[in-house]
Amino acid sequence: MHRFTVPGAELAWAFSDESGPAVVQLHGLTSSRARDRVLDLDLGRGLSGTRLLRYDARGHGHSSGRPEPQDYRWPSLADDLLRLLDHWFPGERVHGVGPSMGAATLLHAAVRDPERFGGLTLLLPPTAWATRAARAGDYLRLADLVEAEGVERVIEEGRAAPQPPATVGHPDTVPDVSAALLPSVLRGAAGSDLPAPEMIAGIDVPTTVLAWVDDPAHPISTAEALVELMPRATLQVAETGADVLRWPGVLASDIAQPTR
């Protein structure tokens, strides 16, 4: 297993070098490279002619972590991302792609180092700003539930919740985070938000925002707000699983377009 050392964690990574543009792919909260593939959110599958770096965020998948909620806040995850990019693609502009927490991590990194990214493909941007407080409360409750009743209770609750139409038919999955770290991961998410709107507005690179309908954790309102704020962003909305299966082609097209 390949590892990259960051403060407080060892990040598991995979690199596919087929020459061409530099691309980094992230994943969502409680997910991983492997789990996102099952959920049809691995847009890099089948991607050719790129140098593609994929990794598990700290505490997720095969990456290690420690039980410190601060470690899992989005600015801390952006620190990890920028360290990886400095190592793998020093001095290069990179195309970033990722869902939910991954999209949030990319936005924090792009605000901090705007010259680092040549383009973005942001999937399922999470609750932000006005909608964030309610979601944060959900995460704090789930963290307490894990500690009181165990991970299985949280899994059962997730399975009972209504699912977005675009996810119907996906196999059941479970969080790819250990029971020891899950409460800290959830509390880190609860303490996170997207950068301020005026900072988002300064991200001036070609960006595609991909959203789907009827998902309170990833509301269309966030996707629409990002597109209004970012000067070169466009929005595509999926209503069915078939729509989501087209997203890898969107990524390939995004990577192929000029960055300036």
Identify the CATH number of the domain in which residue 14 sits: 3.40.50.1820
pLDDT at res. 159: 82
Arithmetic mean of pLDDT, 41-52: 92
| Cross-strand partners of 42 | none
pLDDT at res. 81: 98
pLDDT at res. 259: 62
The residue among 260 and 38 whose pLDDT is bigger is 38
pLDDT at res. 68: 98
Give the residue from 189, 216, 232, 153 showing the smallest Cα distance to 72: 189
DSSP characters for 92-118? --EEEEEETHHHHHHHHHHHH-GGGEE
pLDDT of 66 over the 60 cut? yes
Is residue 236 situated within a structural domain? yes
> 10 Å Cβ neighbour count for 94?
23
Of all residues in the chain, the percent with pLDDT exceeding 70 is 99
| C-beta separation of 32 from 51 below 8 A | no
pLDDT-based confidence at residue 24 (cuts at 50, 70, 90): very high
Q: Is 243 exposed, middle or buried (0-12, 13-18, 19+ CB in 10 A)?
A: middle
CA angle 36, 185, 127 (to 5 degrees): 70
Residue 10's contacts (CB-CB under 8 Å, 6 or more residues apart) are 3, 4, 63, 64
Is residue 136 situated within a structural domain? yes
Is residue 21 situated within a structural domain? yes
pLDDT-based confidence at residue 220 (cuts at 50, 70, 90): very high
- Number of compact structural domains in the chain: 1
| C-beta separation of 28 from 101 below 8 A | yes
Please indicate, yes or no, whether the overall pTM of this predicted structure exceeds 0.85. yes
Residue 61's contacts (CB-CB under 8 Å, 6 or more residues apart) are 12, 27, 31, 32, 33, 34, 35, 176
pLDDT-based confidence at residue 52 (cuts at 50, 70, 90): very high
Is residue 152 situated within a structural domain? yes
Of all residues in the chain, the percent with pLDDT exceeding 90 is 86
- Per the structure, the complete domain to which residue 148 belongs is given by 3-255
pLDDT of 206 over the 90 cut? yes
pLDDT tens by residue, 156-195:
888 877 889 988 888 878 999 999 999 999 999 999 999 9
Give the residue from 228, 32, 208 showing the smallest Cα distance to 124: 208
Calculate the average pLDDT of the chain.
95
pLDDT at res. 168: 83
Interatomic CA distance for residues 185 and 151, integer angstroms: 13
pLDDT-based confidence at residue 56 (cuts at 50, 70, 90): very high
Per DSSP, helices labelled H in the chain are: 33-38, 74-88, 101-112, 132-149, 151-160, 182-190, 197-200, 220-229, 241-244, 247-256
| Cross-strand partners of 51 | 17, 22
pLDDT-based confidence at residue 200 (cuts at 50, 70, 90): very high
For residue 72, give both structure tokens.
């899992």
pLDDT at res. 170: 80
pLDDT of 1 over the 80 cut? no
pLDDT-based confidence at residue 260 (cuts at 50, 70, 90): low
pLDDT-based confidence at residue 105 (cuts at 50, 70, 90): very high
pLDDT at res. 248: 96
Arithmetic mean of pLDDT, 96-124: 97
Is residue 260 situated within a structural domain? no
